[in-house]
Structure formats: structure tokens, C-alpha cells
Amino acid sequence: MGYSCRQDADEIYKVWLDYCYATTGVSNSYLYKNERYCLQLGRQQDDGAMTGTVMLLIDHPSIVGQYLAHNKGSFRIKPDGTVKRYPVGLKNLLAGATA
């Protein structure tokens, strides 16, 4: 069984993923203030909302191409598609793409 959410919430999340892919080539990763962040989708919500975690990715000091991840917050897209909590910096980067 896959992830279940309302279509309005899913459409906003897809805008975010499209932005990430267009700017970094990775569907859930984006750059903000010269730092790389990653979106990790969370558990299904009974009300149809989408939630998840925002991770800061830092280059691993001894393994080239690998990252260490640090939790930097969370996001929540309400069932009607409005955003209650944005990922770090993503609201500024999208500049109205989800409005």
C-alpha cells in the first residue's frame, strides 16, 4: 500500500519535488544559502495532510559523495493544499510557485 493523502496536498508536494529536480537534478533535494537540504516524507495523516522532515546534508568528511544528515525541522501541507509549515528556505526559493 502506498502513501495516502488528499490530491490538493499531493499537488503542492509535487511542485516542490519538480522545483528540487529542476535545480539540483535530485527530486527531493534543494540548495538554500549554499547548503543542501533534503525532504523526507513522513507518515500518512488521517486527515489527508502531508508531513515530513527537512534534513540538512553535510559532506561526509572521509567518504567523497556521501552526506551526513541533520534534522532541521519539518513541513506540513494541509489537506486543502495550503502550507502550514514550509521546509527551511523553500518558501523563499519557490517565490510564489505554490500560491
Q: What is the mean pLDDT of the chain?
A: 85
Instruction: With cut-offs at 50, 70 and 90, classify the pLDDT of residue 3.
Output: low
Domain boundaries, the chain: 7-93
Q: Residue 81 above 50 pLDDT?
A: yes
pLDDT tens-digit map of 9-57: 889 999 999 999 998 999 999 999 999 999 999 887 888 899 999 999 9
Query: Would you list the DSSP string of the chain?
Result: ------HHHHHHHHHHHHHHHHHHSSTTEEEETTEEEEEEE----TTS-EEEEEEEEEE-SSSTT-EEEEEEEEEEE-TTS-EEEPPTTHHHHHTTTT-
pTM for the model stands at 0.81
Q: Residue 98 above 80 pLDDT?
A: no
